[in-house]
Amino acid sequence: MLNEAISMKITPSVKSHINEVDWDNLPFGKVFTDHMLVMDYNNGKWQAPEIMPFGNLSLHPATSAIHYGQSIFEGMKANKSEDGEKVILFRPDLNAKRFKESCERMCMPVIPEDVFVELIRKFTEVESNWIPSREGYSLYLRPFLFATDDFIGIRPSETYKFVIFACPVGAYYSEPVRVKIEEHYTRASRGGVGRAKTAGNYGAALYPAKQGQLQGFHQLVWTDGIEHKYIEESGTMNIVFVINGVLVTPSEESDTILRGTTKRSVIEVAESWGMKVEERQVSVEEVVNGVKDGSISEAFGAGTAATIAHIAKIGFRDEILDLPAIETRTFSNKVQKYLDDLKTGKVEDTFGWCVIV
């Protein structure tokens, strides 16, 4: 079915609740649109997708995703152009690729990348009136896949459910962030599932992240699982530094880091601007010394939800290291504006990254 033209049933919701939304007070991830897309996998193949009214799913208590963790997701955003004429998806092909890689790592059936993009496109088209047009707001799309066999026992499920829903959202962080370098707990180790966007990675991070929050930090900066000597990434963002004018970010070569769309875009834009970029191991020592001696002029997290999140302070053991004032951060401010402008069609898409819905 899926390699032919996708036939899609659309059952519209009886009444939209869009007029009940308080657009001036939009908490991240708590307001949901009118519809969801559902596509089941059974008998060895994907069944026809359906867009239907948003609502609860009914699950058997033995649903295997709940017990054994075969559950993956993606996060991406749709924006409207300034004149409201165009709906723009930013690099959905990279989400499709990462989703496929997560499927493979978690023994789940792959959704062909072109099909994934087309399902996202179609769903976004149906929900396009939910895309906020005010600056800094977007429609966050959450595609996810989970195992649905009602079976107790460890083996890959034979049935799955793929769902897409969406939330209109504003900024994830309202201020520059304070992060703590984590040297005890580990997010991912070599050979594990750190590169996959699988639910368990986030569940396992909750306890260490909560300890950090109790100490006044927004997020942790994870370090490698063996020696805790090298920087990896942050809770929901990749991490990027400007060191002596060079853009430096931890290499993705180890399979412990999520391959972020935002970070990749930041790197490609920086290169196109003639900036030197290094994807390599970044040691904790280099970061701590670099903040102290001023060779690190900028540090930020890069992610779909947070976009570019300036890092104001880094906690390391008993010290709090202050980074330079946000106004002085030439590169991160410029790239943030450039990416925002690309996503809303204000600048020409010379990279060919945007998909018009």
Ligand X SMILES: Cc1ncc(COP(=O)(O)O)c(C=O)c1O
Letter string b/e over residues 160-188, b meaning 16 or more CB atoms within 10 A of that residue's CB:
bbbbbbbbbbbebbeebbbbbbbeebbbb
Stretch that binds ligand X, among 82-90, 114-122, 234-242, 271-279 (CB under 6 A): 234-242
Q: Closest by alpha carbon to 307, among 330, 332, 277? A: 332
User: Do 26 and 96 touch, CB atoms closer than 8 A?
Assistant: no
Q: Which residue has the tokens 């580990």?
A: 186
Q: Is 238 in the site for ligand X (CB under 6 A)?
A: yes
User: Residue 265: helix, strand or coil by DSSP?
Assistant: helix
Q: Exactly one of 157, 304, 336, 344 binds ligand X (CB under 6 A); which one?
A: 304
Q: Exactly one of 33, 102, 261, 297 binds ligand X (CB under 6 A); which one?
A: 261
Q: Is 225 in the site for ligand X (CB under 6 A)?
A: no
Q: Which residue has the tokens 């996202």?
A: 120
Of the pair 29, 53, the CB lying nearest ligand X is at 29
Which residues, numbered 72-111, are part of the site for ligand X (CB under 6 A)? 75
Stretch that binds ligand X, among 18-26, 144-152, 163-171, 300-308 (CB under 6 A): 300-308
Q: Compose the 21-40 pattern: x for residues touching ligand X by CB under 6 A, - for all others.
A: --------------------
Of the pair 89, 126, the CB lying nearest ligand X is at 89
Stretch that binds ligand X, among 15-23, 153-161, 172-180, 297-305 (CB under 6 A): 297-305
Could you tell me how many residues of this chain bind ligand X (CB under 6 A)?
A: 13
Where on the phi/psi map is residue 208: left (φ > 0), alpha (ψ -120 to 50), or beta? alpha
Q: Can you point out the beta strands (E) in the chain?
A: 9-10, 35-42, 45-46, 50-53, 71-73, 76-80, 87-90, 138-147, 160-169, 177-181, 219-223, 231-234, 238-243, 246-250, 277-280, 296-303, 307-316, 319-322, 354-356
Q: In this structure, how many other beta carbons lie within 10 angstroms of the beta carbon of residue 148?
A: 23
Instruction: Quote the least distance from Cβ 126 to ligand X, whole Å.
Output: 23
Which residues, numbered 128-167, are part of the site for ligand X (CB under 6 A)? none
Stretch that binds ligand X, among 45-53, 82-90, 139-147, 257-265 (CB under 6 A): 257-265
d(CA 73, CA 94): 13
Q: Which amino acid is present at 250? A: P
Tokens representing 262 are 């935002």
Of the pair 186, 304, the CB lying nearest ligand X is at 304
Instruction: Quote the least distance from Cβ 210 to ligand X, whole Å.
Output: 16
Of the pair 74, 118, the CB lying nearest ligand X is at 74
Stretch that binds ligand X, among 43-51, 62-70, 145-153, 233-241 (CB under 6 A): 233-241
Q: Is 236 in the site for ligand X (CB under 6 A)?
A: yes
Of the pair 49, 260, the CB lying nearest ligand X is at 260
Instruction: Quote the least distance from Cβ 185 to ligand X, whole Å.
Output: 14
Q: Is 303 in the site for ligand X (CB under 6 A)?
A: yes
Q: Is 256 in the site for ligand X (CB under 6 A)?
A: no
d(CA 150, CA 266): 43
Q: Is 124 in the site for ligand X (CB under 6 A)?
A: no
Of the pair 240, 242, the CB lying nearest ligand X is at 240
Instruction: State how beta strands 71-73 and 87-90 pair.
Output: unpaired
Residues engaged in binding ligand X (CB under 6 A) = 75, 233, 236-238, 258, 260-263, 302-304
